[in-house]
Structure 1
């Protein structure tokens, strides 16, 4: 079992305490949830935490314009521009590059090649890939698909970079290959309950870590997302 000193902070207030002090470095984690649940903000807080600690981190976009993501993040942390300007937070818009190279949707292999180049050249320690669902697999055979995705996840782990894969998940009772292959899964939720909108976080899976899989209250604050160690159904 890793000790607390060997872990790295998620950058989300209240979350580290629920996962024995933070994440095990060098592993791949899936951040999933419905549209608008806060996944990209969650990922940016993770990267900014690394930048504040002097690490070099990267946000790799496959659909969104990274500049727009940064502008949205300014409302929570104006220092984001400082880290972008001093090359601590590196933004890569791989979508246009990959689509120019092929008329097909980018494959995991083509994305991995670019990611390896970026992380090795820039000595990246934290990485966010947003969204995983933009990457396609040309073959329909589920066994081959799982093998290729397993290679993708294993290759990311071999880079020694702590990685967030961000993915949409609308149907919460259906699981795909990536759910079984990553080291951890954090689900973000929002739903109506007794006439009010509730946000919640669920540590669905976290290898090598004691964790409570029950829903916990999640809130957007002036500083970004904050986790509270209590049920989201309690009266606030």
Structure 2
């Protein structure tokens, strides 16, 4: 472990979950009481165990006080993640035998008075015995039930807070919100409050997110952040803020290796910019984007391809028939290809995967195919544009060239995209069908480019066993903006025309 990283862990009581520590600006300030709340199944126990394991790894005394789970259940949960609880003392707080014996129940005093006092005494005794630096109390719902009232509950939590403050412990109290989710008593007492949530979309896997509600005296990353529970613990994906990331790079152009396409784009697509390839189904949007990725690999660079819509085996076969063996490029490690299941992947995790490619693999050509599939992964479509905006801004600031494809609804006539991101992209390439000489053909044009000049013409293109090829600029088109470009010029300008 690097010395600087070790010092950060010692300075604050880090949770051991990298993304959560980033959201908390390093972790929990020491010798304070914090609240981790969430419904059952949101990952509170997993986060708490990670918090204690991190402390144990640093040689700190750690104590887990369980009022809800048995020690056996707790250790079984740890084993499911491949963990051992070495260095962590588990104190299973069970009610005294006298309180379980009906013959010894008090009749003149409320039994809750005895139970609450006895529970508190046992907690204090456990702390006195072990003198821990980190403590987890699981869970406050049991104490709330014993208190049988908001006032007594608040007084009890305050008593716990002052007691731990005198003993110099960092305390994480868990609350499963099963008794009274509207009771904010602990919110005002705790130094910080973190909430875990689970959402159940109408289709697909559950989505989990975390939010820091409160943290006294420290800036934190606000808003919701996606996370997953996986074998090995929590994976938190902090919300991307593009303004925080900037890497110096040299401006240049990414070329496709196709003379006509590069000429149409004014020499290529600039580094640190994004290109949107827009068109109806079957026009070859993926092929255009993959050409840029393969050209980057051919120059000795690395590229990444994130596929939402197409099964990889079919994509490999289809590209191989067009003269591009992208499977071999993947096996060589030069082209990273990831199949994205929109029903299983949250937007935050997808962003984290893209960032990992760019940061760790130093990839500077990224293809996202397509935004239609990306949209399907969004639980709220209203925020899709904001996610894309931050991701594109981040990639631009890293000097990466990003290619995105969007399938428009319909084949001919007036067509609309499911999401309008044309104003976000720096370059927009439009693909269209047109009819000429009794056949259906394809045409490509560049309708927007922020950086530099581009051809304002329309070029015909063909997809064959040799791959993608573009013809010379054509004139004589009508109806391009209506979505039905008709060629009314002379046939000699068309590709494959015998009179040419």
Which TM bucket (shorter chain)? 0.7 to 0.9
Matched position secondary structure for 1:36: coil
2:356 to 103, 117, 133: 117
Alignment length (residue pairs): 223
2:450 to 191, 207, 210: 207
Q: Whole-Å Cα distance in 2 between the matches of residues 69 and 159 of structure 1?
A: 28
Runs of 4+ in 1 over 6 A off after TM superposition: none
- Residue 46 of structure 1: aligned partner: 292
**Is the contact between residue 205 and residue 213 of structure 1 (CA under 8 Å) also seen in structure 2?**
no
Q: Whole-Å Cα distance in 2 between the matches of residues 54 and 78 of structure 1?
A: 16
Radius of gyration: which is bigger? 2
**Is the contact between residue 59 and residue 66 of structure 1 (CA under 8 Å) also seen in structure 2?**
no
- Deviation track 1:14-40 (CA, whole Å, cap 9, x = no partner) reads 111222221101211111111100111
Tell me: CA distance 1:159–1:94, structure 2 relative to 1, closer, same or farther (3 Å). farther
- Deviation track 1:66-111 (CA, whole Å, cap 9, x = no partner) reads 232121111222543432221111211122xx5335xxxx43x442
- Residue 459 of structure 2: aligned partner: 216
1:28 to 256, 266, 274: 274
Q: How does 1:50-69 map to 2 (within 5 A)?
A: 50-69=296-315
Q: CA deviation at 1:56?
A: 0.8
Instruction: Provide the alpha-carbon RMSD of the alignment.
Output: 2.4
Matched position secondary structure for 1:112: helix
Q: TM-score, normalised by structure 1?
A: 0.83
- Residue 388 of structure 2: aligned partner: 149
**Is the contact between residue 62 and residue 93 of structure 1 (CA under 8 Å) also seen in structure 2?**
yes
Matched position secondary structure for 1:150: helix
Q: Whole-Å Cα distance in 1 between the matches of residues 351 and 402 of structure 2?
A: 13
Q: Whole-Å Cα distance in 2 between the matches of residues 159 and 31 of structure 1?
A: 21
Q: TM-score, normalised by structure 2?
A: 0.41
**Is the contact between residue 37 and residue 189 of structure 1 (CA under 8 Å) also seen in structure 2?**
yes
Tell me: CA distance 1:7–1:230, structure 2 relative to 1, closer, same or farther (3 Å). same
Matched position secondary structure for 2:448: strand
Matched position secondary structure for 2:255: coil
**Is the contact between residue 116 and residue 159 of structure 1 (CA under 8 Å) also seen in structure 2?**
no
Q: Whole-Å Cα distance in 2 between the matches of residues 100 and 46 of structure 1?
A: 28
Q: CA deviation at 1:223?
A: 2.1
Q: Whole-Å Cα distance in 2 between the matches of residues 151 and 202 of structure 1?
A: 27
Q: CA deviation at 1:191?
A: 3.0
Larger relative contact order, structure 1 or 2 (CA cutoff 8 Å, min sep 6): 1
- Residue 438 of structure 2: aligned partner: 195
Q: CA deviation at 1:7?
A: 1.7
Q: Whole-Å Cα distance in 2 between the matches of residues 26 and 187 of structure 1?
A: 21
Query: Which consecutive residues of structure 2, in runs of 5 or more, have no partner in the other structure?
Result: 1-250, 478-486, 492-496
Q: CA deviation at 1:177?
A: 3.4
Tell me: CA distance 1:78–1:226, structure 2 relative to 1, closer, same or farther (3 Å). closer
- Residue 93 of structure 1: aligned partner: 339
